[in-house]
Amino acid sequence: MKRILMLSALASVLTVTGCSTLNNVFGNDDSGMHDVQATMSNKAPVASMNGMLVDATNKMTLYTFDKDSMNKSECGSACLLAWPAFMAPSNTQASGQFAAFQREDGKYQWAVNGKPLYFYANDTKVGDTDGDNKLGVWHIVKTK
């Protein structure tokens, strides 16, 4: 119970801080929680909705993180609690501006023009954009 309370507090702090301060503090993320949005298709499962990029299955908003570099995520395991990665299967093929890259944890993540894609944990329904411009470093991906 103490661990659950501690993780809840940490997730709240990371949401406020933008996640970068505790990047990789806890090592590799073995929780699998961010795999919920993974797909078995080998092409980017994305769509445009209301002028922004969403995942094609659940229509949840996708975000980029300014601190990421080309095909490299700076959002470590603690950060992924608030900003789950948009995971991809290992057999993905690049499709236009979308491609997957291998994360440091060995898993694959979708990227648009080399920028890793994420969900925001506090977006709970289709159309939510609560993570947009969070701390000035998290942004929706505009499609128009």
The per-residue pLDDT string of the chain (144 residues; one tens digit each, 9 = 90 and over) reads 444 444 444 444 444 444 433 333 333 333 333 333 334 456 789 999 999 999 999 999 999 999 999 999 999 989 999 999 999 998 888 888 999 999 999 999 999 999 999 999 999 999 999 999 999 999 999 997
Report how far residue 39's alpha carbon sits from residue 92's, in angstroms, rounded to the nearest whole number. 10
Strand residues in the chain grouped as ranges (E): 46-49, 52-55, 63-65, 87-88, 98-102, 108-112, 115-116, 138-140
pTM score of the predicted model: 0.73
User: Are the beta carbons of 101 and 72 closer than 8 angstroms?
Assistant: yes
Answer positive or negative: Cα dihedral of 135, 83, 100, 54. Answer: negative
